[in-house]
Structure 1
Amino acid sequence: MRPADIKIVVALIINDADEMLLVRKRGSAFFMQPGGKLDAGESDLDALCRELREEVNLTIDPSRFSSQGVYRDWAANEPGKLVEAMAFSCFGSFKVSPAAEIEEVRWVPLEEEPAAIQRAALSKNHLFPLARRLLRSSAVAG
């Protein structure tokens, strides 16, 4: 298996209306989950919490996140590069606003196919299906 060119952490944040938070970076057409690359010496959760503060002005206690595994696909904004993402989920309603390189934030219903927006391959092929499974399992458990 080819090694990943880019390693990141991403947050699947699902609100009380069963919508997932997506962001679009300035200059990009693709929506994706918030997150990003780790700085030297950072843990996955430290990096995720930092990225959420920087990108969407959101502070979440790291203990609220559940690890959902590692997913790989082609990078949206770096053609020909393979991205590997450690995914974490968190349920709850939060106020967010775009910051840093983020131009737009959007809450997207999980039970509808968001045809009106372009999603990164990782989001479309792996993270949306994962979030839908998480939503269904939380409904069964709740």
Structure 2
Amino acid sequence: MPLPQVCVCYLLRERDGRVEVLLGRKKHGLGMGYFVAPGGKLEPGESPADAAVREIFEESGLVVAAADLESRGVLSYLFPHREAWSQESNVFVCRRWQGEPTPSDEIDPEWFDVLAIPLDEMWDDARRWLPVVLAGGDVRRTFVFGADLATVVEERSPVA
């Protein structure tokens, strides 16, 4: 059975010669308390890019065009101890939008230097792939989380 589909988008900007990424502390639900990028579940019939555009607007107030999203890969998250949390996430990066980020019911957006991302306050898998994506790379991995529902106990790359 296919995993539920979600999306996440890392918005990048350049300020004073540094690259920054927009993250926000999750206020409730899955991942509460962690820093995350805007994203969420795909609605029926919605493409990952269209879902990312909608979620970015709902969570940060920013207006993004689907054509400006850079697809960076797919991550599978397996939670054998809570299967309802298992999902497949479509990862995007975006460098163009309209507006200024504003808090929402989901997150309080903040800009972080990409060299000082709060990885210790993010999901455990982020340290294993996010710096590569933010540096321009792509990712395709599966992460299996342990009984604590927070720690990665296995990482798999796709079979060639």
TM-score using structure 2 length: 0.67
- Give SS of 1:96's match: coil
State the 1:92 CA deviation: 4.2
Corresponding position: 1:109 with 2:116: no
Please provide the CA RMSD for this pair: 2.6
* Higher helix proportion (structure 1 or 2): 1
- Give the match for residue 26 of structure 2: 25
Considering only CA atoms, is the larger Rg found in Structure 1 or Structure 2?
2
CA distance in 2, matches of 1:3, 1:126: 23
Q: Write out the 4+ residue segments of structure 1 that deviate beyond 4 Å after TM superposition.
A: none
Q: How many residues align?
A: 128
Judged with a 3 Å threshold, the aligned counterparts in structure 2 of structure 1 residues 79 and 33 are, in CA distance, closer, same or farther, namely farther
Higher relative contact order (CA 8 A, sep 6+): 1
State the 1:133 CA deviation: 3.6
State the 1:69 CA deviation: 1.1
Corresponding position: 1:7 with 2:8: no
Judged with a 3 Å threshold, the aligned counterparts in structure 2 of structure 1 residues 79 and 111 are, in CA distance, closer, same or farther, namely farther
- Give the match for residue 122 of structure 2: 119
Contact in 2 for aligned 1:54/1:99 (Cα 8 Å): yes
Corresponding position: 1:63 with 2:67: yes
Higher mean displacement: 118-127 or 40-49? 118-127
State the 1:83 CA deviation: 3.3
Contact in 1 for aligned 2:27/2:105 (Cα 8 Å): no
Residues 126-141 of structure 1: pairs in structure 2 closer than 5 A: 126-133=129-136
Corresponding position: 1:100 with 2:101: no
Judged with a 3 Å threshold, the aligned counterparts in structure 2 of structure 1 residues 121 and 61 are, in CA distance, closer, same or farther, namely same
State the 1:74 CA deviation: 5.7
In structure 1, stretches of 5+ residues that fail to align are 135-142
- Cα deviation per residue 1:41-69 (whole Å; 9 max; x = unaligned)? 11111111110111110111111111111
Contact in 2 for aligned 1:36/1:48 (Cα 8 Å): yes
TM-score using structure 1 length: 0.75
